[in-house]
Amino acid sequence: MADAKAATAGGHLNLPNILTYGRVAAVPVLVALLFWPDSAAANWTALGLYVVAAVTDFFDGYLARAWSQQSSLGRMLDPIADKLLVAAALLMLSANHAIESFNLWAAIVILCREILVSGLREYLAELRVPMPVTAVAKWKTAVQLVALGFLIAGPAGDHVVPGAHIAGLTLLWIAAVLTLYTGWDYMKASYQHVGGV
């Protein structure tokens, strides 16, 4: 048993990586479901899928560390899967007007920060400079996930929890503020490495 685990530790088909693949595969399904924002069935199915995908985000990293199954592929694909899920949700919620008007700025801030930090991480990885996730960044991610969950539930969510949409937009702005703070924090931490270019 131990030998089998060791053999698959660096493989592409260990359970942590499969969970990450599943999160990537969930993105087009979520997009399809969000094409019907006025359908309660589509709303709840989209929310269920989103919650499962968000939960796998925790478990893939936890299991990879617990079972010593961390891999280069997993480290590369995990943040990509996260960003695909968040970006797809934000774009579809903007398209179906769950996020509109002034609130679009919160979505733009979040998307821009994700792209900036991804590029920065890739650049620093080439220099072999670690860029650990901060505690505030983890809180930002948690608030962002909850905000999107409320917004994905759509009108169906408002019928169950009155004001769910407003709560989602409020949390989205909190996530955007935390996004600006953590983005600036990462830029300061990496300045000495970037500044020498």
178: domain CATH number is 1.20.120.1760
Which of 23 and 192 is assigned the larger pLDDT? 23
Q: How far is C-alpha 70 from the geometric centre of its chain's CA atoms?
A: 19
Specify if 173 maps to a domain.
yes
How confident is the model over 109-125, as a mean pLDDT?
80
Half-sphere exposure (CA, 13 Å, Cβ side) for 172?
29
Question: Of 72-86, 90-104, 119-133, where does mean pLDDT reach its minimum?
Answer: 119-133
Specify if 55 maps to a domain.
yes
Domain coverage including residue 177: 2-191
> Which pLDDT tens digit goes with each residue over 176-186?
999 998 888 77
Question: According to the model, what pLDDT value does residue 60 have?
Answer: 74
Q: How many domains does the chain have?
A: 1
Question: According to the model, what pLDDT value does residue 152 have?
Answer: 95
Specify if 184 maps to a domain.
yes
Residue 8 confidence class, pLDDT cut points 50, 70, 90 = very low
- 140: burial class by Cβ within 10 Å (0-12, 13-18, 19+)? buried
Question: According to the model, what pLDDT value does residue 111 have?
Answer: 93
Specify if 147 maps to a domain.
yes
pLDDT at 159 over 70: yes
Residue 30 confidence class, pLDDT cut points 50, 70, 90 = very high
pTM for the model: 0.83
Residue listed under structure tokens 């996260």:
82
Which of 157 and 69 is assigned the larger pLDDT? 157
The sign of the CA dihedral 47, 81, 70, 186 is negative
Residue 11 confidence class, pLDDT cut points 50, 70, 90 = low
pLDDT at 35 over 80: yes
Specify if 182 maps to a domain.
yes
User: Nearest 5 degrees, angle CA 63-CA 21-CA 51?
Assistant: 75
In contact, 182 and 137? CB cutoff 8 Å? yes
Specify if 197 maps to a domain.
no
pLDDT at 90 over 90: yes
Specify if 196 maps to a domain.
no
